[in-house]
């Protein structure tokens, strides 16, 4: 994710707080035999719209975030000069578009086209396929054996017509494995796929005090049922709180980020 895309993602907090309409009507079959999987829904996606009842300012904020979410970033010479030097794609929408803007990866993977866009010289990694999911790669360990865990962007801007003079190397993701399952290749790589961001603005709006109060509520009942927990993950024995200001983190696969902007 580029710096410009991080800012855009932070700006669209109201945009991603969308409503997913879900029907919970019970059918005779459900009453008699228990829950029944209705299968794939037909019709419109029912996602990607702003919350009802927004103020004029909130609506304007949503619309601005929607536009930024779809902005195509370039290196230089354009109106959105925020790409690179390393990147996974050139817009937020590329990885979050199914079934609507803000969703998950689309049916056709856009990472293949962006790899060589504008003259870029990237090799398409073995785990990126035309009909497979959008993937980002994390390396488990550094070359010296110490823990890594960070995202290693798939592509670099070397060779692009808008990046004259840039010459940096693309990461090495070999040896290859099964391109669809992602299994059997470089054992140092773990993958993440984009999750929908619908409603993420509402998650960010939950106060730390509310999270802690919910955790402490009905403590004896929870203990009797074997229910227990703590805010987010524990890293090295410590509660996973933001290193910047000590607030509870909540975004990411390990709840490691405090806000959409940081994420």
In a domain, 166, yes or no: yes
Same domain as 213, residue 200: no
Range of the domain at 64: 3-20+45-205
Same domain as 253, residue 130: no
**pTM of the predicted structure, to 2 decimals:** 0.73
Rounded to the nearest integer, the mean pLDDT of the chain is: 83
The 3-class SS string of the chain reads: CCHHHHHHHHHCHHHHCCCCCCCCCCCHHHHHHCCCCCCCCCCCCCCCCCCCCCCHHHHHHHHHHHHHHHCCCECCCCCCECCCCEECCCCHHHHCCECCCCCECCCCCCHHHHHCHHHCCCCCCCCCCCCCCCCEEEECECCCCCECCCECCCEECCCCCCCCCCCCCCCCCCCCCCCCCCCCCCCCEEEECCCCCCCHHHHHHCCHHHHHHHHHCCHHHHHHCCCCCCCCCEECCEECECCCCCCECCECCCCCECCCCCC
In a domain, 39, yes or no: no
Q: State the pLDDT at residue 30.
A: 46
Of 243 and 169, the structure prediction assigns the larger pLDDT to: 169
Q: Give per-residue pLDDT as tens, 144-156.
A: 999 998 889 999 9
Q: State the pLDDT at residue 10.
A: 44
Same domain as 191, residue 228: no
Same domain as 224, residue 124: no
pLDDT at residue 252 above 90?
Answer: no
The domain boundary, picked from 167, 183, 205, lies at 205
Same domain as 137, residue 15: yes
Same domain as 246, residue 116: no
In a domain, 214, yes or no: yes
Q: Give per-residue pLDDT as tens, 85-131.
A: 999 999 999 999 999 999 999 999 999 999 999 999 999 999 999 99
Same domain as 132, residue 100: yes
Q: Give per-residue pLDDT as tens, 38-72.
A: 888 787 878 888 999 999 999 999 999 999 999 99
Same domain as 236, residue 112: no
Q: Give per-residue pLDDT as tens, 170-189.
A: 999 999 999 999 999 999 99
Same domain as 212, residue 133: no
Q: State the pLDDT at residue 168.
A: 95
Same domain as 199, residue 139: yes
Of 147 and 16, the structure prediction assigns the larger pLDDT to: 147
In a domain, 32, yes or no: no
In a domain, 33, yes or no: no
In a domain, 134, yes or no: yes
In a domain, 30, yes or no: no
Q: How many domains does the chain contain in total?
A: 2
């Amino acid at each position: 994710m580029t710096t410009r895309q991080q800012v855009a993602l932070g700006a669209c907090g109201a945009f991603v707080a969308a409503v997913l309409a879900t029907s919970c009507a019970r059918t005779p079959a459900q009453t008699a035999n228990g829950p029944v999987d209705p299968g794939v829904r037909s019709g419109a996606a029912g996602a990607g719209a702003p919350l009802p009842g927004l103020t004029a300012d909130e609506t304007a904020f949503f619309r601005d975030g929607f536009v930024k979410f779809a902005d195509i970033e370039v290196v230089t010479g354009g109106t959105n000069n925020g790409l690179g030097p390393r990147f996974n794609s050139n817009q937020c929408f590329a990885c979050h578009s199914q079934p609507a803007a803000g969703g998950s990866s689309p049916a056709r993977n856009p990472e293949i086209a962006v790899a060589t866009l504008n003259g870029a010289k990237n090799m398409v990694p073995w785990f990126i396929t035309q009909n497979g999911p959008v993937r980002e790669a994390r390396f488990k360990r550094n070359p010296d054996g110490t823990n890594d865990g960070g995202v290693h962007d798939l592509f670099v801007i070397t060779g692009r017509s808008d990046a004259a003079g840039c010459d940096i190397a693309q990461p090495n993701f070999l040896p290859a494995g099964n391109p669809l399952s992602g299994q059997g290749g470089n054992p140092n790589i773990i993958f993440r796929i984009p999750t929908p961001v619908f409603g993420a603005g509402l998650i960010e709006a939950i106060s730390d005090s509310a999270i802690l109060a919910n955790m402490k509520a009905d403590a004896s009942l929870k203990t009797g049922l074997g229910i227990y927990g703590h805010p987010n993950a524990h890293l090295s024995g410590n509660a996973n709180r933001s290193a910047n200001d000590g607030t509870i983190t909540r975004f990411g696969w390990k709840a490691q980020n405090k806000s959409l902007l940081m994420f």
